[in-house]
Amino acid sequence: MKKVFNTLSALLLLQVGAYAQQPAHKTSTAKIADVLAQQPAEEQVKFLSAMRELESFTAEDIATLLQGLKPQGQDNAAVEYAANSYAFYVMQSGMDAKRATFSEGLILALDRISDKDNKGFVLTLMKQASKNEAIQAIVPYLKDDYLVDRAALALNGIRTAEASQALSKALAEAGSEKATTAIVAVLGDLRSKSDEDAVLATLAKYQDENFQRNTYTALSKIAGAKSAPVFLQKLKSVNYQFDKSNIGGLTLDYANNLFDEGQQKLATSIATTISKEAEKAGSAALQVGALQLLTKANPAKTRKQLMKAASSSNTLYRAAALDLLREHGSDADTKTLIATLRKSSPEVQESILNFLAKEASANDVPAIEKSLGNVQHTRAKIAALNTLSKLSNYANTDYLIGEIAQADALTTEAIKSLLLSSKNPTVVESINKSVAGSDVKTQLVLLELLSQRTNAQSSQVVLPLLSSADNNVKTAALKALPNVVNAADYDTLVKLLPEASESDARYIQQALVIALHSSNDTDAKIKALAASIASNPTAQSVKYFPVFAGIGGDDALKAVKSYLDNANLRNAAIASLSGWSTPDALPTLITLSRTEKDEANFETAFRGLVRQINASSHTAEQKTLLLKDAFALAKNTAQKRSVLGSLQGTGTYQAMMFAAKYMNDAELKGSATNTAMSIATETHDFDGTDVRNILNAAMSNLSGSESAYLREAIVRHLSEMSAGEGYVSIFNGKDLTGWKGLVENPIKRAQMSEKELADKQAAADKNMRENWTAVNGDLVFSGHGDNIATVKHYGDFEMLVDWKLDPNGKEPDAGVYLRGTPQVQIWDISRTEVGAQVGSGGLYNNAKNPKDPLKVADNVLGEWNTFKIRMIGEKVWVWLNGELVVDNVTLENYWDRNQSIFPKEQIELQAHGSQVWYRDIYIKELDVQ
């Protein structure tokens, strides 16, 4: 019924008085049918309609409605919902007449219904809606063991003097333990003091533990004075412990209720007795309860007991006392507690110190410090240090440092934590001053702190310790060095590096990088350093390579690259380039990955290549191109997996399709599946047959603990995907299916007869097959012949295509014809004599509208590039390597400047006088309204 009550809470907020009564001439049967037809009435309109119907019910109608209840287990939902709703409804202000009618109906129903469970339901309704008029009808059921609980609760709901009297009489006549239990519980809820004697008498009648607990609970609520010796005697009989009757807790409840009702003297007497006897019996929980009540009654009088309890060996009792002192204690109490520290046990010291951290003041710090000579236990010592730090507002740095020498491991860690988190602005200054003259243990701790917290003077403290005779101190100084150095330390570090061991050098190298980054003349210093090692290349030169890698830039790159031809230093140079901190090493790593023969060096260069691609600021499309090239260079499965994993981060369609090609590869299927699946499900932009096939294949490949979850995610994504087609591959990588040779231009083709066009198409196809070939997944133009065209015609579309020009070709040049019209330009941007320096991607043949791209985004000649081309109507957008180079520009009809662009035509890849490669060609047809 919880749902019913929650619903009613909302519905009864409505104003209901404005609704008129329903016609009174309806029969009882009709009325009931109308009400039940609307159950359950959780909607506002249905609820109010049902309530209006019930307002017209007579007592007989109510009784008849409830007589319709079926035996338990059958469907009574409609009747129960309606009756429950109305029971709450009639309790609103101004509806007492309706309530009385309803209650009269309940009385009739209670008499007429034979099923006891249904009688119990009626009694529950009486608890909600009846008053004195129902008492006599309820009383007989106080003798019925099956219904006595419901009957007693009904009288509890009526909650009048008459109801209490009826219960009192019933208690005297109760003939069973169950009836007595139910009646006693309700008399307790009613706090019926006049029944205290009768309730007390039942304790001797039934010895069952549940009965005893129920009765003592009732007596604790009644809180009559006669119960006091009974409670104390019972508590004594269990030696002031908690038992199954919970007499300890109930006695405390009883005493607190006495106190709240004005019987403070008796309440404190009971609490005092409990406190004394519980202490003897070692019952800390009872001691706590008694102490809380005594403190509530008279804090000043209980002060001595609180102070004693604050030093108790019992943790629970001590904690309760300290909590009470926080509320009721004084400054004098705080000072007294400080004085007790010297003679207290470690556990008590810890508790008091934690208390002092919140309640003491800065004025108490000297007194606490004096007591610390007797605080030796680790936990107590740590509590003391925390307390002093907080009370002194972290001005105790010197004191904390002075404690390090004698501190054990845990205390030392606590001191470090306090110094690191200290809000004192001079804490690092104090650490700096203390390092030189401290013992070795303290030096090690302070150096560790300086490796995390420092100021401008800290390097002058750390640098001298690099030559310490103690190896541990020297190592700690080296570890702190990168955190403390500044630009002024550069010359010192440069002198230190050549003589440093390999293990020491890495810290000095890190420090040099930091010093250079903070310098105002970084470039000049790098040039000088590069020139220095270039003039005298030795085995020590490699120590500067990580410095160059950490700084990056052209000068540093040139310095390291110059050693690639040095057989002795080549390995170190490649390692440095692999860890280069800026993207300017990427071209070098690409070259190394293509040329390096040594397996170990190739692994180093390849790892750096993939890392540099991932860390670069390149567009996702450019990263995809670079990673696909890297995959082609990979020499082992691990390297290929690293590329496939990196492709996931690009999120591009081409990356997804590339990974999907390896989903059936035994060694690569895991990485390939994860990448393809992740890209497909992380965006709703990709749909169509290929994507669905990828996701279905991924479900078959999944395994491991997360496979079920991932399958569910795929199924959900598939269900949400658009039913339409997405990108479709128009080059299968194996042959020229879907492609044809070029026959004239669209205007001339339209003028040809069917036979003429067929003949010319046959000749063009023959020429195409002689000059265009599918090679290892690429569509390759030989450099001779004419354009290749799609068999299919396209209207509005998006196109993806990778392309590459021959770096050794004669006048490298190409393009993409859109709807048979030239063209999205592709060329060698070094050909300035023809204006190619503007970059690829422009609408080269435009005369009135913009023809040049917005920026140059071409890769180096001979490297792969990628277009995304969108054409809607006569407007064109072009992205080159992820950069927008044409933005909403009209493509002019080159074949007839007086006509608009053709609404639907073929796509062509332009043939020119140089070799060209195309791959990964996808088209998505757009349905633009």
Read off the pLDDT of residues 326-378 as tens digits, 9 standing for 90 and up. Answer: 999 999 999 999 999 999 999 999 999 999 999 999 999 999 988 888 888 99
Tell me the average pLDDT of the chain: 92
**H-only helix segments in 310-435:** 315-328, 331-340, 346-359, 365-371, 378-391, 397-403, 409-421, 427-435
Query: What is the end-to-end Cα distance of the chain in Å, rounded?
Result: 54
Residue 150 has pLDDT above 60, yes or no: yes
Q: What CATH number does residue 862 fall under?
A: 2.60.120.560
35-40 CB contacts, 8 Å cutoff, 24+ apart: 35/65, 35/82, 36/78, 36/79, 36/82, 39/77, 39/78, 39/79, 39/81, 39/82, 40/4, 40/77, 40/78, 40/81
683 and 705 fall within a common domain: yes
**Mean of the pLDDT values across residues 179-199?**
95
Q: What is the pLDDT of residues 616-668, one digit of tens each?
A: 999 999 999 999 999 999 999 999 999 999 999 999 999 999 999 999 999 99
Among 812, 785, 821, CA closest to 911: 785
Last residue of a domain, one of 678, 698, 725: 725
Angle of helix 44-55 versus helix 2-11 axis, rounded to 10 = 90
What sign has the CA pseudo-torsion 293, 295, 297, 303?
A: positive
Model confidence band, residue 535 (pLDDT cutoffs 50, 70, 90) = confident
- The count of residues in the chain is 929
Which residue range is the domain that position 679 belongs to? 649-725
In angstroms, the CA 842 to CA 861 distance is 17
pLDDT for res 531? 87
Q: What is the pLDDT of residues 253-294, one digit of tens each?
A: 999 999 999 999 999 999 999 999 999 999 999 999 999 999
pTM, 2 dp: 0.69
pLDDT for res 43? 57
Model confidence band, residue 6 (pLDDT cutoffs 50, 70, 90) = very low
pLDDT for res 10? 42
In angstroms, the CA 626 to CA 647 distance is 10
In angstroms, the CA 753 to CA 285 distance is 107
791 and 851 fall within a common domain: yes
744 and 721 fall within a common domain: no
Q: What total of structural domains would you count in the chain?
A: 2
Residue 447 has pLDDT above 50, yes or no: yes
In angstroms, the CA 34 to CA 634 distance is 79
Other Cβ atoms closer than 10 A to 321 = 28
703 and 763 fall within a common domain: no
pLDDT for res 532? 83
In a domain? residue 231: no
pLDDT for res 44? 66
In a domain? residue 784: yes
In a domain? residue 878: yes
In a domain? residue 776: yes
In a domain? residue 662: yes
771 and 793 fall within a common domain: yes
In a domain? residue 766: yes
Q: What is the pLDDT of residues 811-833, one digit of tens each?
A: 899 999 999 999 999 999 999 99
pLDDT for res 76? 87
Of 13-27, 172-186, 289-303, 682-696, the least confident: 13-27
745 and 837 fall within a common domain: yes
Last residue of a domain, one of 666, 692, 725: 725
Give me the residue label for tokens 């038992």: 243
792 and 851 fall within a common domain: yes
Provide the β-strand partners of residue 923.
728, 799
Whether residue 763 contacts residue 817, with contact meaning beta carbons closer than 8 Å, is answered with no
In angstroms, the CA 636 to CA 612 distance is 19
Q: What is the pLDDT of residues 675-720, one digit of tens each?
A: 999 999 988 889 999 999 999 999 999 887 778 888 998 999 998 8
The DSSP output letter for 424 is -
Other Cβ atoms closer than 10 A to 837 = 14
**Mean of the pLDDT values across residues 435-452?**
96
Residue 75 has pLDDT above 80, yes or no: yes
Among 44, 117, 57, 107, CA closest to 86: 57
Sort 8 into a burial class: Cβ within 10 Å, 0-12 / 13-18 / 19+: buried
880 and 802 fall within a common domain: yes
In a domain? residue 769: yes
706 and 752 fall within a common domain: no
Last residue of a domain, one of 725, 757, 773: 725
Give the CA-trace dihedral at 35, 39, 45, 51, to 10 degrees.
40
**CB proximity list for 912: less than 8 A, separation 6 or greater:** 783, 811, 812, 813, 814, 815
718 and 749 fall within a common domain: no
Give me the residue label for tokens 């047959």: 689
748 and 711 fall within a common domain: no
753 and 833 fall within a common domain: yes
Higher pLDDT, 120 or 43: 120
In a domain? residue 85: no
pLDDT for res 91? 92
Q: How far is CA 445 from the centre of its chain?
A: 36
